[in-house]
Amino acid sequence: MRCWGAFVLLDLAPCSSRASLRSISFTLPAGPQEHHQNPGKNRRTNTAGEPVEPLVAVDFSLVPPENRAGEPSRGATRAPLRLEPAEGGRGWRAERRGAERRGPGASHDGQKRERRGAERRGSAASHDKQTVSELQLRSSSFALFGDSAHNQAMVYWTGYNSSVILILTKLFDFNLGTVTDSSLWRSLDLGSSYEKLNDRMDSRLVLSYLYVCPSNNRKILLVSDPEMDSSVVVSSDEGNSFQRLSISFTIQSLLFHPVEDDWLLAYSQEQKLYFSEDFGRNWNLVHESVSPGRFYWAVSGLDEDSDLVHLEAQDPSGLLRYITCLAGSCPDSRKFPFFGRIDEGSLVVQDDYVFVQVTTVGPTKYFVSYQRQPFQSIQLPKYCLPKDMHIISTEGQVLAGVQQWDENDTYSLYMSDRHGNYFSPALTYVRISRSVAGILNMDVYKVAGVSGVLLANRREGGRVRTFISFSQGQMWRLLIPPATEPHCSLPSCSLHLHLRMSESPYSPDSIISSASAPGLIIATGTLGSELTNHNTRTFLSSDAGNTWRQVFDKEQRVWFLEDGGALLAITQASVPISHLWLSIDEGRSWLQYRFSASPLFVDGVLMEQDTHHHIITFFGHLSHRSDWQLIKVNYRNLFNRQCTSEDYQIWPLLNQGEPCVMGQRQNFRKRRPGSRCILGRRYLKLVSAESCSCAPYDFECDYGFERQLDGICSPAFWYQGSGIGTNCTSGQISGYRKVVTNSCDESVEHHLGPRMHQCDATAPNGVRLSTTHSDLTARPHTNVTFLIHTQQVYSSGLDVQLDLGDGVCVSPSVLKRVSDSTTHVYTHTNVYSHTYVYTHAGIYRVSAHVRNHLGADDSQLFLHVTSPVEQVILSAPRVLLLGKHTNLSALVLPDIPKTAVYYWWIDNSTEPVVTLEGWLLTSFHRVGVAHVSLQVSSEGVVRQDSSTIIVTEVFRSMLLTFSPNLEEHNPAIPEWREDLSRVVMATISQGHISTN
């Protein structure tokens, strides 16, 4: 599984990495919230915004890995097909360049190559009249003439109900870090022929990236290379016509709106976020200093405004904040849902949840907001002591990987309650790895199409073993080896799988499953006491992982065809290949088909999204210096008719024979193996789901409880609540909570479940007062939110009060309850909150008092309300007698009592006198001129003022009288008084003042 940042969103499959010299990116229509990165920077981001390869895009390396022959396993029916050239087929030529030049893979007469299948040994399904000997697969090839020097390519099938394929080939100069040449090709016939489109735009224009709008596949946007030109090229008719638009910034990544096809967010190299509401024709600045990949469109059903943007950016004070605003009027609509700064790269907006993290002097703290409610601190077991945390899945609950204090190369798997607040452990010591780009890969895989089935690789000492769970992580067991392996039996020998998703298709996706083919899993792995990297074979399960069988004795790359009705396999090899394998009976038998007359280095395989066309496109090259070669294979003739009711069978989802999985008896409709019929677009897979009565493993251990070997959830030693059957406090829970995605029927009486014990109340205890994210500093005129945590559930007899330290006391009717039994099924503590604004600086003693008829408890904190010092005025006498004490004082603006530090530098002292008050009593013991300087520090800002004092053994003081109207000419500033003082002194020295 891929992981995201401090909070890193994981794709539900593991990763690996290989270096790439020549690459191709196969991109399908993007899902909502998918960031698109400029390939010139060799980065892309996913829905969480982290720069990773998305599930719908892959890069192919020119340098393939070790050769694997990859033959079908013993026991599988295998029959090679003979090559028969087609007759009368005319080839297709590119209309502009390359028509006159024959590439290495082009036939001498320019004709299309067609190949037919031969007879398979073995029988077809008994009800199919047509024999396999009549099977014919058609294929054709096309060379992108003139692009042999291009070392990168993007292939994009524009979407459903479309026959358009777009290809952008590029020459990327790794020394310059830029694209120096490019070509755009388009096919209108599902890849049989291609036309070069450079002249339709500007033949001198160098393109670096191609985007297709996910909500409207007819809209295409191309970005020019920033080193050559700053512009975008747009098309609203799948590339039939283009319009070039100049822009004033350099696009690094794009984010399409999930619904509005004209709305775009563009991120620049200067970390500025821009918004366009007319598909790139005009752009407006949204915000500056935005973190890379940390911006998200509104989530439908949660955010009221569809043009709302969630982003991580610096606020005017320079702090990194979580900000929301309307894309077209961000400065006027800006809000800060999380009060306080957050860590860089930690914001993730996914489904019902928003995650941030905050690192202070102590341990890093993690926060979550559920359905846009106020943020709550994520609660992990007390002695988990997390070093790192990564979010894996957010489907109804949060599945997270946590690196505990004693883990280095492993993470532990945790499950949350529905609100993502309280976490309990599911599986410890799960293996991890990191890609070349530093992306965390966790060996956890969520099987698609069935609920609650997880696979994980657990490190146990020096070995790694694969475990499976049918209960969303509540119970795990080893994989049963294939029945054809008599010398491998549990527990000493089992099946172990590689659970990684490739960053390069030459390191293939080692495990695949699909929602369109429930229960079907294909993976590479090994048999034995542990997972190894040698003797790797390919295995298949038709029943969601209960049983397995070997389908190839080598490592193969496998894809689903026709919604899982057929399988495609090719050899994972470093040498060119010309054969593929096809199966229509879930891997029980395989057809070999020669798809290319000349062996091809396969850089990628493009599967159509609209399965009624039945097209596969191979993209590669015949040699390292040849043009890009495309081979189209039409596998429609694998099927001879539409499926009828007789072609289906009912498959019940079981867990080792137990019919209740995740609280339901589920029955799926599957095509009978070997039936050569087309499923159809409205093929219904899940045909029935009946709830079961709840059983122990339909529940997970609640926060503070741990599952024992006998399956019982018992309180952890650090948990202050009491166990079941002992004296309990008000609000004590049973120790179990129902798995969020479980559908079991709780109407039947049972001893488990997330219900409260009804028992006598006790005196309040464990009261804790804090602020959001535990900050003890604030500025005047800003919101401060206090949180009161109690161990008691809410009751009418519980009195909670908050003394704010400035003469204001908040009554229970004003306090807001953050969590209670109406919003949470159950809770361990009550949290009351109150937001207050202090208008003056100072240190305030804030106290929380909780009482009921049995007793009371309280908690307090000291809040420092401070602001930066703006001006300091030092007040000192002009003349002072030798050895006589005098009072030096300071006027500080604004007034910040007891929160500023005063540094007094007296005469020639080498160390200052430090006080917390704005005055100092001192004396001088040397006749002459003494220099005094004062520095005042507050919130990292230091201001200074200085003065001189004449120290003498004797002096005469005179009482001066001034004209009554003198103040009328006084502007009340220090400079005016200093000038007046000089006039008075000069007058006295000249003897012009009367002393009568």
Give the domain CATH number at 749: 3.30.60.270
Pairing of strands 768-771, 388-393: unpaired
CB burial of residue 782 (10 Å; 0-12, 13-18, 19+) = exposed
Decide if pLDDT at 634 tops 50: yes
Decide if pLDDT at 419 tops 90: yes
891-904 pLDDT, tens digit per residue, is 999 888 888 999 99
Whole-model pTM above 0.75?
Answer: no
Q: How far apart are CA 11 and CA 52, in angstroms?
A: 9
Query: Pick from 638, 660, 679: which residue ends a domain?
Result: 638
Q: What does the pLDDT read at residue 758?
A: 43
Beta-carbon neighbour count of residue 821 at 10 Å?
Answer: 13
Q: What does the pLDDT read at residue 994?
A: 57
In a domain, 8, yes or no: no
297-313 pLDDT, tens digit per residue, is 999 989 999 999 999 99
Decide if pLDDT at 715 tops 60: yes
Mean pLDDT over 917-928 rounds to 92
Q: How far apart are CA 590 and CA 607, in angstroms?
A: 19
Decide if pLDDT at 545 tops 80: yes
Are 306 and 327 a contacting pair, CB within 8 Å? no
Decide if pLDDT at 468 tops 60: yes
Same domain, 353 and 484: yes
Decide if pLDDT at 768 tops 90: no
Q: What does the pLDDT read at residue 682?
A: 64
Same domain, 374 and 518: yes
Are 341 and 750 a contacting pair, CB within 8 Å? no
Length of the chain: 996
- Determine what percent of the chain is predicted with pLDDT higher than 70: 78
Q: What does the pLDDT read at residue 47?
A: 34
In a domain, 968, yes or no: no
In a domain, 971, yes or no: no
Q: Which residues pair with 629 in a beta bridge?
A: 143, 620
Q: What does the pLDDT read at residue 504?
A: 54
Q: Say whether 841 sits in a helix, a strand or coil.
A: coil
Task: Tally the domains of the chain.
Answer: 5
Q: Say whether 988 sits in a helix, a strand or coil.
A: helix
556-588 pLDDT, tens digit per residue, is 989 888 877 889 999 877 789 999 999 999 999
Same domain, 591 and 448: yes
Q: What does the pLDDT read at residue 488?
A: 94
Mean pLDDT of the chain: 79
Decide if pLDDT at 29 tops 60: no
Decide if pLDDT at 178 tops 50: yes
Pick from 557-571, 600-614, 962-976: least confident: 962-976
Q: How far apart are CA 453 and CA 469, in angstroms?
A: 5
SS3 content of the chain, % helix, strand, coil (to 5): 5, 40, 55
In a domain, 894, yes or no: yes
Same domain, 395 and 438: yes
Instruction: Give the pLDDT band (50/70/90) at residue 761.
Output: low
Same domain, 106 and 204: yes
Q: How many Å from the N-terminal Cα to the C-terminal Cα in the chain?
A: 96
Same domain, 685 and 834: no
Decide if pLDDT at 827 tops 50: no
Q: What does the pLDDT read at residue 675?
A: 87
Same domain, 738 and 788: no
Q: How far apart are CA 472 and CA 474, in angstroms?
A: 6
Q: How far apart are CA 783 and CA 339, in angstroms?
A: 8
In a domain, 438, yes or no: yes
Decide if pLDDT at 598 tops 70: yes
Q: What does the pLDDT read at residue 22?
A: 37
Instruction: Give the pLDDT band (50/70/90) at residue 939.
Output: confident
Mean pLDDT over 331-358 rounds to 92
* Ordered DSSP codes for 408-435: SSEEEEEEE-TTS-BEEEEEEEEEEEE-
Instruction: Give the pLDDT band (50/70/90) at residue 966.
Output: confident
Q: Which DSSP state fits 89?
A: P
Same domain, 661 and 554: no
Which residues 6+ apart lie within 8 Å of 971 measured at CB? none
609-618 pLDDT, tens digit per residue, is 665 788 999 9
In a domain, 504, yes or no: yes
Instruction: Give the pLDDT band (50/70/90) at residue 905.
Output: very high
| Domain region containing 785 | 768-865
Decide if pLDDT at 746 tops 70: yes
Using H for helix, E for strand and C for coil, what is the string for 472-493? CCCCCEEECCCCCCCCCCCCCC
Instruction: Give the pLDDT band (50/70/90) at residue 57.
Output: very low
Check whether the bond before 894 is cis (ω within 30° of 0). Answer: yes
Q: Say whether 757 sits in a helix, a strand or coil.
A: coil
Q: What does the pLDDT read at residue 402?
A: 94
Q: Which helix (H) or strand (E) holds 297?
A: strand 290-297
Mean pLDDT over 44-71 rounds to 32
Give the closest residue to 497 by CA, choosing from 461, 463, 462, 539: 539
Pick from 299-308, 516-525, 594-603, 773-782: least confident: 773-782
Q: What does the pLDDT read at residue 723?
A: 38
- Stronger pLDDT, 176 or 320, i.e. the higher one: 320
- Stronger pLDDT, 14 or 676, i.e. the higher one: 676
Are 311 and 323 a contacting pair, CB within 8 Å? yes
Q: Say whether 271 sits in a helix, a strand or coil.
A: coil
Q: How far apart are CA 937 and CA 867, in angstroms?
A: 10
Same domain, 709 and 652: no
CB burial of residue 646 (10 Å; 0-12, 13-18, 19+) = exposed
- Determine what percent of the chain is predicted with pLDDT higher than 90: 43
Pick from 263-277, 310-324, 699-713: least confident: 699-713
Instruction: Give the pLDDT band (50/70/90) at residue 378.
Output: very high
Q: Say whether 332 sits in a helix, a strand or coil.
A: helix
| Domain CATH code at residue 931 | 2.60.40.10
- Stronger pLDDT, 840 or 89, i.e. the higher one: 840
Q: How far apart are CA 429 and CA 965, in angstroms?
A: 86
Q: What does the pLDDT read at residue 492?
A: 94
Q: Which helix (H) or strand (E) holds 210?
A: strand 207-212
479-502 pLDDT, tens digit per residue, is 999 999 989 999 999 999 999 877
Mean pLDDT over 108-117 rounds to 33
Look-up of token digits 């191309």 = 222
Same domain, 909 and 812: no
Decide if pLDDT at 800 tops 80: yes
Instruction: Give the pLDDT band (50/70/90) at residue 733.
Output: low
Q: Which residues pair with 843 in a beta bridge?
A: 864
- Stronger pLDDT, 354 or 433, i.e. the higher one: 354
- Stronger pLDDT, 822 or 190, i.e. the higher one: 190
Instruction: Give the pLDDT band (50/70/90) at residue 995.
Output: low
Q: What does the pLDDT read at residue 993?
A: 57
Q: What does the pLDDT read at residue 438?
A: 77
What is the number of alpha carbons within 13 Å of residue 789 lying toward its C-beta?
Answer: 12
Q: What does the pLDDT read at residue 63?
A: 28
Q: What does the pLDDT read at residue 35?
A: 56
Q: Say whether 312 sits in a helix, a strand or coil.
A: strand
Look-up of token digits 């058609």 = 138
Give the closest residue to 171 by CA, choosing from 40, 300, 74: 40
Same domain, 303 and 383: yes
Cα dihedral across residues 473, 479, 480, 482: positive or negative: positive
Locate 84 and state its tokens. Answer: 């028969």
| Domain CATH code at residue 657 | 2.10.70
Same domain, 338 and 464: yes
Query: Pick from 834, 865, 896: which residue ends a domain?
Result: 865
Q: Which DSSP state fits 355?
A: E
Q: What does the pLDDT read at residue 44?
A: 33
